[in-house]
Each structure stands twice: as structure tokens, then as C-alpha cells.
Structure 1
Amino acid sequence: MTVRQKCEQSSPTRENGGGFDEISLERLGRERPPSFSGAWPEVAFCFSIIMSQILAEYYISGSNVLLPTLIEELDFPAASAIWPSTSLSLAVTSTLLIFGRLTDMFGGYAIYIAGAGWLTISSILCGVSQSWLMLVIFRALQGLGLAAFLPSGVMILGKTYRPGPRKNFVFSLYGACAALGFFIGIFFSGLCSQYLTWRWYFFIGAILSAITTLSSILYIPRDLKETRGNGATMDWAGCALSVAGSVLFVFAIAHSSYAPEQWRTPYIPVCFVLGVVFLGAFTYVEGWVVKNPLLPGDIFAVKYMKPLAIALLFLYGSLGVFLLYAVLYMSEYMGATPFQMVAWTVPMAVGGLILSCIGGLIFHLISGTILLMISCLGYLGSGLFFAVVPLGGNYWAFVFPAMICGTIGIDISFNLANIFITTNIAKAKQGIAGALINCTLHMGIAVMLGFADIVHTETGYLGARDSYKAVFWFEVGLAACGLVLVALFVRIKEAKSELTIEEREALAAEARGEDTVQDGV
């Protein structure tokens, strides 16, 4: 069935014989995708995909609360205390683009299920670790599972839902689950720290991962045959350079505060310089040498993509600083027990669910630029409230509004970025689109957390509490940079129902008199 016939079926009214009126596109944007036979398969499908967000945040936030217990029971060396968290983020950041390309080669179904299954196995291995080194290694292996199913999940959603209110709502739910996963991670880590053992934190994660794997096998549409027709191939040079560059670069920044002589420790500047060299070589190879670049340049040819990606690096970096240092500050200076922190972070989970419902209803009505600026103000507020909280500060006056601001920041920006990027990139490159979104998120968190550690260390002479304050002011600065970039250089329209890239190309072919058939459009 051609694009024109599909739209005519949806609405008999058509403008000027050239395009289609907003009513017909709006109806298409609200319809259930044809791959679902009813409401239940669609609900089960959405559950399977949004669990990737919940599990990703579960393993990031919960490990922060669990860290003191891990250090004590596994006898972590002081210089290695950051690695239960950093090893996972480093593995995710360095391999996201590779798994994004694998997704474009073999389809979202296969890579997503492989990632969820591997996360189940690696979570069990974390739970049975007998030493700190074993745990760090298995945490890195967990990162490979997350790196596999994060871009494939975005690809599957982007290919399944056409632009419109239904896609906005589903992506809003997907983004809201970042805050929900953050809360679930803290809840179970607090529960395990206080009443069980730290091992059960990983075993519970393995159970959730196994449920996700089973649900995904049953309800995610298979797309191998369709995807193999795209002709995507692996860029091995890009793989080697991107992994080496990102690992060395992030390692140098993240570990510099814990090295024996910090930046004067010889291996820190060596790793940093080598990381920059490899990343520079990666940029050159991708742009001018290989024919099948791991990160195609036409992705950044999309209008406003470059300033948006840079702004998101700052914004997501501020999120990473907030998630870690807010937990540390509440524990060390506000006397919060693990279960108190669970209660104190409830506003992020509840606020995320509310925002997801509201976002799905208004994203097609309000300018994306305005919504992004509101998101930036949320990021800024989350750091500002902690930066000015006095000693013995009141929860309702400072922590509660900071949590509300945090969920406004992440839910709006993550959802809009997902909708904007997946709508403006062809289906054949949706895996790379998903990798770009999540690579921006995790690279921003990993790098900016490294700089936050440097700020914390270098301001130690002010006293422990004031050095935390300096970190929160650093977070405010990151959010302010993102706000300036969005206000000056990013213009995103309302996320209305519209033709996909493939449909616009098919219409152009029809206008030229070519016989173009769009199956399943």
C-alpha cells in the first residue's frame, strides 16, 4: 500500500493534491501500530522496552547507596572505591556505538534480547563475587548488557511508532522510567543494606532482567529479515579507536583524583593524551576515511543536532553529579539512613510518572525549545538547592524541591531528545540513533563526574562539607552552560504528527511517477 493510499484511508480530506491535511496525519499518529493485534500485546511490548531504562538506572543509582557496604565487606582499597560505579559506566560509554551498529546490522530484537539475557547472567556473577576485583570486573560485564539493550530499545520504539501523540506518550513513559529506576535502585539497595545482604541487590536485578528477557522474547516483533536488507556493515577501525579513546580518556579524568599524586602521577596524563589522540583519530577516520562510519556524519547534518548534543552532554553531566553527590550529602550531612533516602527520593519517581503523562499530552502543543529551556532550569535548580542548603537544612525547604527539579530536568530533556532524534533519522539508522542518545547520556555522566571528583578533591582545604558545596555549584554551572546553548542555538518545533522520512521520500518518488510500494506504512 502506498503512503498516499494509507493517508486517504485514514482521512478522505487532502490538501491541494500534494500533501495531507493535519487531520489525517493526526489520526495516523494516534493509531495503534499494525504490528500489535490488540491492547495487551502493545502493553507487554512497552513493558519489555521500558524495563531497559529501569534496569539501567537501577544499577547506577543503587550502587551509590550500596558503596559503603561494599567497601567494608569486600575490603576495597581507597583508590579503587569509585570503580564499582565507574567500571559499569565506562563499559557502557565505550561500547554503545558498537552495539548501535550491531543493532542496525542484525535488528533490535536479537540485540535487545541478548543484552537482557547477558545482564541476567552478569548480575548473578556480581552477586556471587568473592573479592572487590571480581565485583569490578563483573560490573564492567554488566555494562556490556546495558550497552546492548539501550540503543536497541530506542531503535525498536523509533521503528514501531510513527511521529505523533502516541509516540510522544510512549517515549514519555520510557523517559519517566529513568526516575522510576533511580528510585527502585535506591529502594532495593537500602533494603538489602539494612535487612539482607548486598548480594541480594544483584540477585533482585537478575530476577528483573530475567523477566524482561522472557517478556521481550514473547512480545517484541522480530525484525532480522527487514534489518538485514539495510546492508549495514561493521566499521572495525571505528570500533578499535572509539573503545581505546573513550576508555583512556574517561579513565584519566575519573581516576585522576584517586591516583597517588593525582595529575602528577605519570600514567594519568599519558592515558589522557592517548585518549585524546585516539578520539581525534576516530573523528578523522569516521569523517574522511571509511565508507561505513560507526557514527555517520549525516546524523549531525540534521538541523540543530550539533548544539543539542553538546548541550545534552552538559545537562546529563549535571544529572550524574546530582544523583551521586545528593545521595552522599544526604547520608553524611543530613543523617539519612538508607530507608530515609528511599523516602526522600519518592518525589523523583512520582514526579517522573506525572510528567510522563503530561508530556505525552502536550509535546505536540508546545515548542520543544521552550520545554528544553524548562528542563535546563530543572537541572539548574536541583544543584542550586543543595548548593545553598544550610547545615541541618530542612528536607521540605531544600531536598524536596531539588528532587522535583531533578525529575523535571531529566524527564523533559531525555524524552524530547529521543523523539527529536528518532523522528529525524531514517529507520535504517535507528540503532545508531539510540546509541548516540545513550552515549551522550553516559559519556556526559562519566566525564562530568570525573571533573566533579576533581572539584571535590581540589577544594578539600575548605572542609569536607564546603567541598561538597563546590561540587553542587559545579553542577549549577554545567546546567547553566546547557541552558545558554539551548537558548541561543537550538530550535525544536512541537512534536506533531507528521510523515516519516521514508514516507516523505516515497511521496517524492510517487510525484516523479515511480512505482514505490510502502509495505506496512
Structure 2
Amino acid sequence: MLLQTTMTGRQKLVLVLLLGAQFMLAVDFSILNVALPVIGEGLGFSLGGLQWIATTFALAAAGFTLLFGRIADLFGRRRMFIAGMALLGVSSLAGGLAVSPTMLLVARVAQGLATAIVTPAGLSLLTTSFREGPLRAKALGLNGALMSAGFTSGAILGGLLTELLSWRWAFLINVPVALAVLVAAPVLLKESRPDVRPRMDVLGAITVTGGLLALVYGLTHAGEYGFADPVALGSLALGALLLVGFWFAEKRAVSPLVPLSILRRHNVRWGNLAGLIAFATETSLVFVMTLYLQKVLGYSALTTGLAFGVLGIGTVVGGVVAPRVLARVGNRRALVYGFAVQGGATAALALLGASQGWIWLLLAATFVGGVGNMVAIVGFMVTATSGLPDSEQGLATGLATMTQQVGITMGIPVMSAVVTAAMGSGNVLGGITVAVLVNAALALAGTLTR
């Protein structure tokens, strides 16, 4: 059977719709970071309470992704996609109109749940709209590029909206986009669900969701108080225990949430491990370079966000060239090449000095590293979703999305702990240099995940 090499008009519209939704979700991960101090002053958050604006979102987004990915498989991906976009629109409106810390935090939890619903459903709709081959690789490449660009450009957009209008527009900007998607989705997207619906694996859902929530909470708590903190250690231990319980629950379940046959697939295992490394290293590098730009070079938050625009351009370029790299060298070599480029570019950042003249090295290295990272991310997505029937694409994309969000969540506290430990008597640049080298080593370790 000949592989389809060109998209139909309908496929192009579906691609625009799904990519637009995924880009908006990626922006939501970082759009409030720059605005946190202003939000705190406006609503009366304590200094320690500000972290919960990001943490509540991450907890819901990472903790419920796998569950909602499987629910989309069973009850309809289009139905879940539309429900998630409706929840995102309502929660964003509530966040923009918030008059108290509690109201805003509830809105952030709802935004995180919407992300956990929409992301795997949207990715599975994307993979099932394009057959395995060049077109799927191209679609996933564009998706990865826009998601990474959304994450890095969220800080720029948040800074601009906060300075020119109000922090409330960081929420309200989602509302018209969500409405547009809700109008177009029923027309363009086809529903998909099994003819016979199996029973829901309740025990598996409880253990995996509880385990992920405990893991993410432990990681975010460790980022603030260190990995020796009893609460962080207890949460991480509880998370590990629940995930082990999830494994045993799946072995005995009649209709498991995650069939162990999928987890035994080599491409699913090492593909998701590669994805964990790719997202943990690049997003945490943004955090480390933010420290460098603001604490060492003295740049403002807005200028820092604009500097990361170069990284965003690199990820877009990487997303465009990644399908060609995959077509020429295959998934495994693409992962190796992508991590090698990312690791080498990251290692070059260890040469950064204390004068502002070093900004050119930062811009060049983050651009090149962004290209390599995106090639690795597309290689991860194609690998982790290949060789599976359409009926399991929601599960595969749910696993991949969970990997992505846990990677984003765990990378920053790990790098924060490295910087803090290496600073010694207040040598910020020294701590940053050590963190950069650790980050580069992890990226280079990604070349072994095959």
C-alpha cells in the first residue's frame, strides 16, 4: 500500500485546529511566570503562596493525563477534546475575573484538568488523522515545534500582556481561542471510540493518579525546600509506592487502564524515557538561563523573555527539519543525533562569563540546542506512538503526554537543587555553570536510550 505523502484540504484544517489548541495549552504552562509578583500584589498572595499558582496547574495537568487519555479511548476522543476545551474556556474566564487567591487557584486547577483532558485527546486525534509514515511524522514535528515554542514564548506573551494591559489577560486571552475551537471541532473532527466499551479499571486509575500527584508534589516541594525535606521525601516515597501498586493492579485487572503488553513494547519504553530526558533538560535549562540573565547579567523579566525567543525559533526550525531527519536516518538515529546536538550546545554554555558580551554565546547555543532538542522530541513522539493500533493511540499519547509533563515538572527542581548546592558561598555563576554541565550530561545520556 502506497504511503500518503500530501495532506488533503480537510487534513490541513484538522491540523491547524489541533495545533492551535496544543500551542495554547503549551503557552499556559509559562505565561504566568513573569506575572507572579504582580498577581501576588493584586490579589494578596503571600510570597510563599505564589508558587501554588504554578504548582496547582502542574499537579492537575501531570496527575490526570494518563487517566483522561484512556477515558478518551473508551468514551470518544472528540467528545473529550471538546469537553476539555469548554472547561479551559470557563476556567480561563474565572481566572481572569478572580478576586481572591482561592478563586484563582481553583481556576488554575481547572486549567490543569483541562490540559490533562485536551492534550492526550488532541494528540490521539492527530495521530489517528494521519497514517503512520511521513505525514504523521510531519504533523508530530509541527506539533512538537509549536508546543515547545509555546512554552518558551509564554514568558514573552505574559510579560507583554502584564506590562501593556493587565495580568488578567494572561487568562482571558484563552477565551476567544477556546470558543473558536469549540465552533470548529464538531465540524472538522471525527469521533472515535470502540464498538464494545470495556469496564473502567478503577483501582488502576486511583493508584496511577495518586502516584503521579504525589510524585509531582514531592518534586515541586523539593524545588523549594530541597530533596532532604521530610515532606518532599515522604511525597516521593508515597508516589513510588502507589506507582508500584499500579503495576501490580494492572497485572490483575480484566480491562487494565494501561495494558502491560504496551509497557513491554521496546519502542514505548525507550521512547518515553527519551522524552522524559528531552523535556526535563530543555525546560530546566530555561530556568537556569533565566537565573543567569537576571541574577548575573541583570536583565529585566521582559528582556529575559525576549532572549528566549531565539530558543523558540530554534525549536520551530527543529520541528520543521525533524521529519526529514527521521525519514533519512530513522527514529533511533534521529534521537541520538538530536540529543548529541543538544548536549554539545548546552555544554558550550559552561563558558558563559559575568559580562553582558556573553549574551551572543547564549543566543547561539540555545538556538542550536533548541533545534537538537526538537529533533529528539519529535523522534520520541513518533517512536512512542508507532506500531500501535488506532484503538490504543489515546493510551500511547496519554503516556507520552504524561512523560512530557512529568519531565517539565521534575527538571526545574532538580536543576534548582544543583544550582543551590554548587553555589557555595554565594557564587551564583559557579552554581549555574555546574548545573549547565549536569544538564548537558543528561542530554548526552539521552543518546544511550535506544
Return the TM-score normalized by structure 1: 0.80
1:470 paired to 2:434: yes
Contact 1:29-1:163 within 8 A present in 2 as well: no
Q: CA deviation at 1:480?
A: 2.7
Give the SS at the match of 2:34. Answer: helix
Task: Provide the residue aligned with 1:29 in structure 2.
Answer: 4
Task: Provide the residue aligned with 2:176 in structure 1.
Answer: 207
Task: Provide the residue aligned with 2:253 in structure 1.
Answer: 290
Task: Provide the residue aligned with 1:397 in structure 2.
Answer: 360
Amino acid at match of 1:68: P
CA distance in 2, matches of 1:431, 1:30: 24
Q: CA deviation at 1:340?
A: 2.7
Task: Provide the residue aligned with 2:208 in structure 1.
Answer: 242
- Bigger Cα displacement from structure 2, 164-173 vs 320-329: 320-329
Task: Provide the residue aligned with 1:274 in structure 2.
Answer: 238
Give the SS at the match of 1:29. Answer: coil
Contact 1:88-1:140 within 8 A present in 2 as well: yes
Task: Provide the residue aligned with 1:422 in structure 2.
Answer: 385
Task: Provide the residue aligned with 2:314 in structure 1.
Answer: 351
Contact 2:221-2:231 within 8 A present in 1 as well: no
- Bigger Cα displacement from structure 2, 113-122 vs 163-172: 163-172
Contact 1:104-1:432 within 8 A present in 2 as well: yes
Give the SS at the match of 1:364. Answer: helix
Given candidates 108, 114, 124, the residue that maps to 2:83 is 114
Contact 1:191-1:338 within 8 A present in 2 as well: no
Contact 1:379-1:409 within 8 A present in 2 as well: yes
CA distance in 1, matches of 2:146, 2:215: 30
Cα deviation, 1:98-132, whole Å, max 9, x if unaligned, reads 11111111221111111111111111122222333
Task: Provide the residue aligned with 2:332 in structure 1.
Answer: 369
Given candidates 71, 79, 86, the residue that maps to 2:48 is 79
Query: Cα distance 1:442–1:461, how it changes in 2: closer, same or farther (>3 A)?
Result: same
Which portions of structure 1, spanning 4 or more consecutive aligned residues, are displaced by more than 6 angstroms?
Answer: none
Given candidates 110, 132, 142, the residue that maps to 1:141 is 110
Return the TM-score normalized by structure 2: 0.91
Task: Provide the residue aligned with 1:131 in structure 2.
Answer: 100
Query: Cα distance 1:241–1:370, how it changes in 2: closer, same or farther (>3 A)?
Result: same
Task: Provide the residue aligned with 1:360 in structure 2.
Answer: 323
CA distance in 2, matches of 1:363, 1:295: 28
Q: CA deviation at 1:289?
A: 1.4
Contact 2:91-2:107 within 8 A present in 1 as well: yes
Task: Provide the residue aligned with 1:258 in structure 2.
Answer: 224
Query: Cα distance 1:271–1:418, how it changes in 2: closer, same or farther (>3 A)?
Result: closer
CA distance in 1, matches of 2:266, 2:85: 34
In percent, how many aligned pairs have the same letter? 22
Query: Cα distance 1:384–1:193, how it changes in 2: closer, same or farther (>3 A)?
Result: farther
Contact 1:158-1:423 within 8 A present in 2 as well: no
Contact 2:200-2:255 within 8 A present in 1 as well: yes
CA distance in 1, matches of 2:28, 2:348: 26
Q: CA deviation at 1:183?
A: 4.5
Query: Cα distance 1:363–1:118, how it changes in 2: closer, same or farther (>3 A)?
Result: same
Kindly name which structure, 1 or 2, has the bigger radius of gyration based on alpha carbons.
1
Task: Provide the residue aligned with 2:262 in structure 1.
Answer: 299
Amino acid at match of 2:352: V
Cα deviation, 1:448-478, whole Å, max 9, x if unaligned, reads 3222232234345341443333333332232
Given candidates 93, 112, 115, the residue that maps to 2:62 is 93
Task: Provide the residue aligned with 1:499 in structure 2.
Answer: none
CA distance in 2, matches of 1:242, 1:136: 24
Contact 1:179-1:348 within 8 A present in 2 as well: no
Give the SS at the match of 1:329. Answer: helix
Q: CA deviation at 1:200?
A: 0.9
CA distance in 2, matches of 1:77, 1:474: 33
Task: Provide the residue aligned with 2:160 in structure 1.
Answer: 191
Amino acid at match of 2:403: T
Contact 1:244-1:275 within 8 A present in 2 as well: yes
Report the number of matched residues: 449
Contact 2:29-2:151 within 8 A present in 1 as well: yes
Contact 1:54-1:178 within 8 A present in 2 as well: yes
- Bigger Cα displacement from structure 2, 440-449 vs 270-279: 270-279
Cα deviation, 1:349-399, whole Å, max 9, x if unaligned, reads 333333333333442222322221222124324543443311124355322
- Structure 2, unaligned runs of 5 or more: none
Contact 1:61-1:324 within 8 A present in 2 as well: no
Amino acid at match of 1:296: P
Amino acid at match of 1:466: G
Give the SS at the match of 2:388. Answer: coil
Q: CA deviation at 1:31?
A: 4.9
Contact 2:297-2:355 within 8 A present in 1 as well: yes
Task: Provide the residue aligned with 2:18 in structure 1.
Answer: 49
Task: Provide the residue aligned with 2:38 in structure 1.
Answer: 69
Amino acid at match of 1:301: R
Contact 1:95-1:144 within 8 A present in 2 as well: yes
